[in-house]
Structure 1
Amino acid sequence: MESGERIAAQWSAALDKVSAAAQAAATAPAAAAATKPYDPLALFKTMAEFAAGFRPEQLLQVQMDAAREWTSFWTNALTPGATPTEKPRDRRFSHPEWQEQPYFRTLRDAYLLASKQLRETVRAAGGDGPNAAMMNFLADQYLNAIAPTNFAMTNPEVVQRTIETGGANLAAGFGNLLEDVAAGKGIVRRRTDSDFVVGETLAATPGSVVFKNDLFQLIQYDPATKDVAAEPLLYVPPLVNKYYMIDLQPKSSLVKWLVDQGRTVFVISWVNPDERHRDMGVEQYVLDGIVEAIGAAREAAKADKVDLFSFCLGGTLVAITLAWLAAKGRAEEVNSATLIGSMVDFADMRDWSAFVHEAHLDALEDHLAKRGFIDSTELQQLFAAVRSNDLIWSSVVNHYLLDKPAPASDLLHWFEDGARIPAEFLKSYNRGLLASNALKAGVGFEVGGVVIDLGVIETPVMVIALKDDHVSAWEAVYDGTKLFGGPVQFILGGSGHNAGVINPPAANKHGYWTSEARPDSGAEWLEGAERHEGSWWPAWTAWLDAHSSGKVKARKPQNAIEAAPGSYVRVVHG
């Protein structure tokens, strides 16, 4: 009886959700026809060219190899007492029944074999550049979408949940689907019980906004020690997300840790742009952004120089800034620079090469011309597509099939709190840097009339890559170290693009690698590198200490405009 009442209550709640979601979907205004930030025709053309490019003998060999592998697969699967295959290192198949139950294990292994064969077939077609990258991307999207984990009858966890709830989970999940459709954003909303609030539970390290202009607010954090390093640290974040990835909960806040270590920390909080900022390009973000912030931080801290540190796109902008300062005879304003997960050599962009395609660039520019920026939702869609298993299909399973909230995550809360990017910035960045790889060539890209050449940079640089980085492949980050003219230190941290940065020493996670050697390739470097346990943070600050001019008395922020985290970070465009 108790079980029946529980299931009845779950069904009642599920039907209420479906009813409310259906009404919202029915009354939602029809979306107006709009341009797209990519060219759909280019996708079909790439697939057609791929299919036409196979030679008959090549296709025959692919088919013969596949037949041999499937014969072996089914012989093993149907042989009584055959040794089960090993559990794959794939989080999608972590539920015990994927390994313990022959039906689910065979289904899993058949999918993985088919996936391997399709990827090998795509590679066998050969080619490189944007077309090959686009075909690899499309193959991955297809394979991720058809995984047996994504369907109710072929996912053991969903089957178990459906039995427990009498199917109420699927009804409630359908309601969740209708809610997302009605929202019209084209994303699977992540449902969680978290109560993160910017300025309270996140981005809560005490400090003040001490400078601002149309592009950024400059935050200076309150000191936590009597004496601090003579050179203040200035953080340059990327534009695509807000700055506070480095100031999440106190236990994982890089800002708080640095302050506690005796550092004066400044942070650039970029404006969340609108139509007024459409003409703000790379040049404006370098000169009116970073260069202006360097001067403001030096003045606020009464310091001759600053230590810059940066992440992702922010590091690319810092490299351009260093070259501009060197060309202007102002290199002494920066004591050192640290680039984390940042690319300056774009020869190897992996999956991202699919989007640096002439047809997509043209479509994006037409799209941007109509409103002057790319929206944070569109950027979120892009990043989700590149990491579809983690950012799309896991939510489909959790919210549409299991009807379960996702675990609270401060890092994912930050990721979903995206920002826009101005039209001119994307145009100048995509055309001027990515497509031509201008920073490697050393010619063709100018800022304020200065040709940007990274070879003139003699400022000490620390380059930190992340081993499982899906945005900036660590080998590509390593290749970028060859472009700087001065001393470069390289560290390889564990984990991925975001989680590998937020790695407090107390957690003792991920590990990192170091080596003074500089072989030609990243793979050779890793072979000779020494692995260390824990976080790379202390190794980085030890390097900063080695380049510091000593200690000075700590200074609190003066002439505060408003309390940290400031108003720019709170702007959310609907």
Structure 2
Amino acid sequence: MTTDTPTAAFPTLEDWQHWTLVMGRAQQMLLEAWADSWKSGEPAPGLKLPPAPDPMAMMTAGAEAWSKGLAAWGQMLGGIQQAGSQKDKRFAAPEWRDHPVYDTIRQTYLAISDQMMKSVDEADGLDEEARQRLRFVTKGVIDAMSPSNFALTNPEVLKATLESRGENLLNGLRHMLDDMRAGQLSQVPKGAYEVGRNLATTPGKVIHETPLYQLIHYAPVTETVLETPLVIFPPWINRYYILDLTPEKSFVRWCVENGISLFMVSWKSADESVRDITLDDYVLRGQVDAIDTVRDLLGVEAVNVIGYCVAGTTLAATLALLAARGEADKVASATFFTAQVDFSEAGDLKLFLGPETMALLDQLSADTGLIDGRIMAATFNQLRGRDLLWNYVVNNYLLGKEPPPFDLLHWNGDVTNLPAGWHRDYLVSLYQENKLVEPGGIIVDGTPIDLTKIATPLYIQAGREDHIAPPQSVWKLMDHVPGDKRFVLAGSGHIAGVVNPPSAGKYQHWINEGEPKSLEEFIEGAREVKGSWWPDWLAWLRRRNPKEVPATGARVPGEGKLKPIEDAPGRYVRTR
């Protein structure tokens, strides 16, 4: 059998000896994994190996069987035409086109995929919610059944298996067992990144600490800084350093280099000490406390604030609370990164809020009152299963390769635990019942919340391809909050649309200086600007608060009344 054209061949004695050794090593690895699991008390990996086959004959037979099965599907769906012109990186290797069997598999699979998705869109008797759910499930099934995901129907895997004489499968099994022990799919090589070494390295000090968060004050690098400081609230479902990745991608470093006195909240990964916290805690003992701490430290009347994703949702509640209490002047401006307040069009995440999911969350958190962050990570990965799940199944387990280093995906896998009660209330009160946009629908510390009372100037950023906070959902903040607002639509999605430094020269953004009444009107009259939207935001911020002061005294971490607790990035970001 050649590596270019798989055909059956009679195995030699040497072949049999080699593949018997391969299967024996695989069995040894499984036995060792089971032994480790017995020692730790964890369930053993439920894997069974078949008897050692003739690998070459089995590979060819499997591919041909798959091809015939796809053809049968095509006949059942009405004799669909093959879709050879489609581009798909799963089938980028030349073998998918050069070999007639695999070319047929590829074309037929893509055609069937198109037909199945078209059938969902044309199905009668479905309301939009049911259609969206069916569309998501169908896409998940299609992605899972891709021939690229199976060793016997992926020519790249067959070629690697022959060339390495099975070492790729042994390496893949080793990777899979390691991931099973960790309870999480690996998306970056182990040891490639470390917080404080090559991530989250912007110099600063932790100058304030509560059971819920640490407050990091970053060291200035310019002689003068904006008088009004900036406090950033990242989402507590992830680590804050998404905004302080490698130096060339760091929003934090870029802000400091542009003369901003910057403070970052680093939320604590939930443990039993904070298992019972609620919205009141995140608003009062989180966001309001951080705002007041910075105001008092620097002796300023107001601060600028940023809320990212779910922290932006609670920031809207914080602003409404301050307005209701006559304290709105504590915040000079507020910026929202991909944040939602109206969840009527909240996207695919709403598909995970059925009674079965809620019951499962209750079951998983019954003993500890906490939700393991790996559950949330798996949920977000399912939203982009082709790229964030199956891509790594093929690369890590079938090809036996290490995944390439990627700082963003390291962050994606650096999960945080969540307080189960508060997380459930968030999903029910906001995603399901959409109470935040009802005046008085949410009560914080005894005060009814009304978003229409917010008069703080707002900068609202959305991502055009955001699958977590869709732009049409983010736009609704424009409808519910009156006053001075600027909306910017960024290229890319929930993360890359935000973390897009000007130096990268990537993507684009759209601005509209008119007064559009909807996202559609915004897009219709928008002007495209190449590159990052960060400079637009900085110009907006400086127009509102242009005064600068010397970067001395309390503007230097530890030089004011709050003494350093430890160096940035602090302990909380490292705890799991």
What is the identity percentage for the equivalent residue pairs of Structure 1 and Structure 2?
Answer: 37
- Partner secondary structure for residue 414 of structure 1: helix
The alignment covers a number of residue pairs equal to 524
C-alpha change, 1:261 and 1:549, in structure 2 (3 Å) is closer
CA shift, 1:345, in A, is 1.2
- What CA distance in whole angstroms lies between the structure 2 residues aligned with 1:451 and 1:126? 40
1:411 match: 408
2:488 match: 491
CA shift, 1:67, in A, is 6.5
- Partner secondary structure for residue 217 of structure 1: strand
Query: Cα deviations across residues 324-374 of structure 1 (Å, max 9, x unaligned)?
Result: 111111100001111111111101122111122244334423543431110
- What CA distance in whole angstroms lies between the structure 1 residues aligned with 2:342 and 2:516? 17
1:154 match: 153
C-alpha change, 1:250 and 1:109, in structure 2 (3 Å) is same
2:466 match: 469
Check if 1:562 corresponds to 2:566. Answer: yes
Contact 1:193 1:407 in 2 (8 A): no
CA shift, 1:290, in A, is 0.2
- What CA distance in whole angstroms lies between the structure 1 residues aligned with 2:20 and 2:241? 40
Q: 2:219 aligns with which of 213, 218, 222?
A: 222
Contact 2:171 2:401 in 1 (8 A): no
Query: Cα deviations across residues 118-156 of structure 1 (Å, max 9, x unaligned)?
Result: 223334144347654443332222111101110123223
2:90 match: 92
Matched AA of 1:407: P
Instruction: Give TM-score scaled by structure 1 length.
Output: 0.85
Q: 2:390 aligns with which of 389, 393, 404?
A: 393
Contact 2:187 2:410 in 1 (8 A): no
1:238-253 equivalences in 2 (<5 Å) = 238-253=235-250
1:341 match: 338
Contact 2:188 2:406 in 1 (8 A): no
CA shift, 1:480, in A, is 2.6
CA shift, 1:569, in A, is 0.8
- What CA distance in whole angstroms lies between the structure 1 residues aligned with 2:125 and 2:215? 49
Query: Cα deviations across residues 451-478 of structure 1 (Å, max 9, x unaligned)?
Result: 2111111101011011111211112112
- What CA distance in whole angstroms lies between the structure 2 residues aligned with 1:10 and 1:568? 48
CA shift, 1:565, in A, is 0.7
Query: Cα deviations across residues 53-80 of structure 1 (Å, max 9, x unaligned)?
Result: xxxxxxxxxxxxx86985351xxx6xxx
1:314 match: 311
CA shift, 1:513, in A, is 0.9
1:261-280 equivalences in 2 (<5 Å) = 261-280=258-277
1:107 match: 105
- What CA distance in whole angstroms lies between the structure 2 residues aligned with 1:459 and 1:535? 25
Check if 1:121 corresponds to 2:116. Answer: no
CA shift, 1:115, in A, is 1.9
Matched AA of 2:574: R
Query: Cα deviations across residues 147-190 of structure 1 (Å, max 9, x unaligned)?
Result: 11101232232233223212321233233333334x162x3333
Which runs of 5 or more structure 2 residues have no equivalent in the other structure? 4-13, 45-73
- Partner secondary structure for residue 486 of structure 1: coil
- What CA distance in whole angstroms lies between the structure 1 residues aligned with 2:528 and 2:244? 27
1:139 match: 138
- What CA distance in whole angstroms lies between the structure 1 residues aligned with 2:444 and 2:437? 16
Q: 1:71 aligns with which of 73, 76, 79?
A: 79
Contact 2:96 2:103 in 1 (8 A): yes
- Partner secondary structure for residue 365 of structure 2: helix
1:445-524 equivalences in 2 (<5 Å) = 445-524=442-521
Higher relative contact order (CA 8 A, sep 6+): 1
- What CA distance in whole angstroms lies between the structure 2 residues aligned with 1:147 and 1:285? 43
Q: 1:544 aligns with which of 534, 541, 545?
A: 541
- What CA distance in whole angstroms lies between the structure 2 residues aligned with 1:367 and 1:68? 41
Matched AA of 1:71: G
Root mean square deviation, CA, Å: 2.7
1:519-538 equivalences in 2 (<5 Å) = 519-538=516-535
Matched AA of 1:109: Q
Contact 1:14 1:168 in 2 (8 A): no
Please identify, of 189-198 and 371-380, the stretch whose mean Cα deviation from structure 2 is larger: 189-198
Matched AA of 1:161: A
Which runs of 5 or more structure 1 residues have no equivalent in the other structure? 34-65, 78-83
CA shift, 1:398, in A, is 0.6
- What CA distance in whole angstroms lies between the structure 2 residues aligned with 1:350 and 1:238? 18
Contact 1:22 1:178 in 2 (8 A): no
- What CA distance in whole angstroms lies between the structure 1 residues aligned with 2:23 and 2:412? 29
Contact 1:18 1:178 in 2 (8 A): no
Instruction: Give TM-score scaled by structure 2 length.
Output: 0.85
Matched AA of 2:361: L
C-alpha change, 1:233 and 1:100, in structure 2 (3 Å) is farther
Query: Cα deviations across residues 512-549 of structure 1 (Å, max 9, x unaligned)?
Result: 11113444442342232111111111111111011114
- Partner secondary structure for residue 79 of structure 2: helix
